[in-house]
């Protein structure tokens, strides 16, 4: 294998895939990246057995071949070279040689045959969606995914298709976020897949918001190609909860407020909430909401805000972080909070819209 390119050309694919390379690996091959040079092109592949990224770039290939080498070390070498520097890469024996100007590096390698890769994903349907729409679906729901929950199917995001709609749903058992978009074109098959947390966050990083992408749904994988990068993620094998059942029905007890004012009040009151449980009490009454917090040091905070509300008087507790996340995800300057009673979940959304909904469970204070 022998090729040459400028430092900046090599940096792009290395930076694109490095997020998947784990620093502490039980399998040494997984801290390596696979380099494949042929037909004037270099393909760089990284995987952690859950998510795989392949980035391709045009280079001057003098001799084809494939090899694996430490992803972090090769990236750090390229980063440390001066801008615009010419870089020559070659393999001899069990070493990968990198030369640029008067700098020379010899890196240890492992055989390409040992590198795990995903080729055919047995596609069941392909959905064309704009990067902007897909990015919005992730942005509006990803914060509600669980982290290392024993209910492994919650450690990811549900992508659901059917009719003209694509929907994303995430829940950690204490809150839920749902966002849907209507797509042009043919009707979609009904399908549910759960994309793992790391795959969701990596995909969010890759989306630029311009152009459209093909989302290929397979039986065990999802694959997306965008801007010269092929993203493949394993799916979580499990049944996502029946989320429709936990979304509260419309209630006459709907509070409407300026989202900036409400967030500010919650953030100030939260300063004196219990650091572990982050509980905050809302006392909702005619055109006002009183926010209260206290902590084990016997410190207290209280703030009253003017809101639009004419329902029943309600006193209810929530985790303030969950409320802030949901209110922050609502588009527009106004936010609507709907609560049936003090033991019910709170439905949060932009007034008069249903494409994004957020549910927060109450907590006892």
Q: What are phi and psi of 183, to 5 degrees?
A: -105, 150
Closest CA to 72 of 109, 31, 116, 44: 31
% of the chain surpassing 90 pLDDT: 91
Token pair belonging to 239: 């049944």
Token pair belonging to 301: 């905070």
Cα separation, 17 vs 182, whole angstroms: 31
Q: Is 251 exposed, middle or buried (0-12, 13-18, 19+ CB in 10 A)?
A: middle
Report pTM: 0.93
pLDDT, mean of residues 309-336: 97
SS3 assignment, position 180: strand
Closest CA to 320 of 361, 271, 266, 268: 266
CB 356 within 8 A of CB 348: no
Note the pLDDT tens digit of each residue in 106-136.
999 999 999 998 878 889 999 999 999 999 9
Domains, the chain, in order of start with CATH, read 2-114 (3.10.150.10), 123-245 (3.10.150.10), 248-360 (3.10.150.10)
pLDDT, mean of residues 246-269: 94
SS3 assignment, position 170: strand
Note the pLDDT tens digit of each residue in 10-30.
999 999 999 999 877 788 999
Split at pLDDT 50, 70, 90, the class of 252 is: confident
Q: Is 294 exposed, middle or buried (0-12, 13-18, 19+ CB in 10 A)?
A: middle
- The b-or-e profile of 159-177 (16+ CB within 10 A means b, else e) is bbbeeeebbbbbbbebbbb
Cα separation, 128 vs 190, whole angstroms: 15
Q: Is 111 exposed, middle or buried (0-12, 13-18, 19+ CB in 10 A)?
A: exposed
Closest CA to 57 of 232, 225, 228: 228
Cα separation, 73 vs 168, whole angstroms: 37
Note the pLDDT tens digit of each residue in 335-353.
999 999 999 999 999 998 9
Residue 359, pLDDT > 80, answer yes
- Mean pLDDT estimate for the chain: 95
Q: Is 129 exposed, middle or buried (0-12, 13-18, 19+ CB in 10 A)?
A: buried
Cα separation, 365 vs 240, whole angstroms: 30
Tokens 């349907």 label which residue?
Answer: 125
Whole-Å CA distances, 255 to 200, 238, 312, 330, 336: 32, 37, 11, 14, 6
SS3 assignment, position 47: strand
Cα separation, 258 vs 262, whole angstroms: 6
Element (H, E) at 86: strand 86-92
Q: Is 50 exposed, middle or buried (0-12, 13-18, 19+ CB in 10 A)?
A: middle
């Amino acid at each position: 294998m022998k090729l040459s390119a400028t430092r900046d050309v090599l940096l792009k694919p290395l930076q694109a895939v490095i997020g998947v390379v784990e620093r502490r690996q039980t399998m040494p091959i997984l801290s390596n990246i696979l380099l494949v040079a042929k037909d004037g092109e270099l393909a760089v592949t990284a995987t952690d057995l859950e998510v795989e990224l392949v980035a391709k770039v045009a280079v001057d290939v003098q001799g084809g071949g494939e090899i694996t080498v430490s992803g972090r070390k090769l990236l750090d070498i390229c980063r440390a070279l001066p801008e615009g520097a010419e870089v020559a890469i070659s393999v001899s024996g069990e070493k990968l040689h990198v030369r640029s100007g008067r700098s020379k590096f010899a890196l240890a390698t492992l055989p390409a045959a040992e590198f795990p890769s995903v080729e055919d994903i047995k596609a069941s349907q392909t959905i064309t969606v704009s990067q902007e729409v897909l990015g919005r679906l992730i942005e509006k729901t990803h914060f509600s995914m669980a982290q290392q929950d024993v209910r492994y199917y919650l450690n990811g995001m549900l992508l659901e298709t059917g009719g003209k709609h694509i929907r994303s749903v995430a829940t950690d058992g204490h809150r839920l976020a749902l966002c849907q978009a209507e797509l042009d074109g043919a009707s979609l098959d009904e399908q549910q897949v759960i994309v793992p947390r790391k795959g969701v966050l990596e995909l969010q990083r890759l989306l630029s918001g311009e152009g459209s992408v093909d989302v290929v749904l397979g039986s065990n994988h999802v694959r997306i190609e965008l801007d010269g990068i092929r993203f493949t993620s394993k799916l979580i094998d499990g049944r996502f909860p029946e989320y429709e059942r936990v979304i509260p029905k419309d209630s006459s007890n709907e509070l409407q407020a300026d989202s900036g004012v409400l967030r500010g009040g919650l953030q100030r009151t939260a300063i004196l909430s219990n650091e572990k449980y982050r509980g905050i009490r809302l006392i909702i009454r005619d055109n006002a909401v009183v926010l209260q917090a206290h902590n084990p040091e016997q410190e207290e905070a209280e703030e009253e805000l003017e809101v639009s509300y004419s329902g029943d008087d309600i006193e209810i507790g929530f985790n303030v972080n969950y409320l802030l996340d949901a209110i922050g995800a609502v588009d527009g300057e106004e936010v609507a909070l709907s609560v049936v009673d003090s033991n019910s979940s709170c439905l949060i959304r932009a007034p008069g819209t249903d494409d994004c909904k957020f549910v927060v469970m109450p907590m006892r204070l």
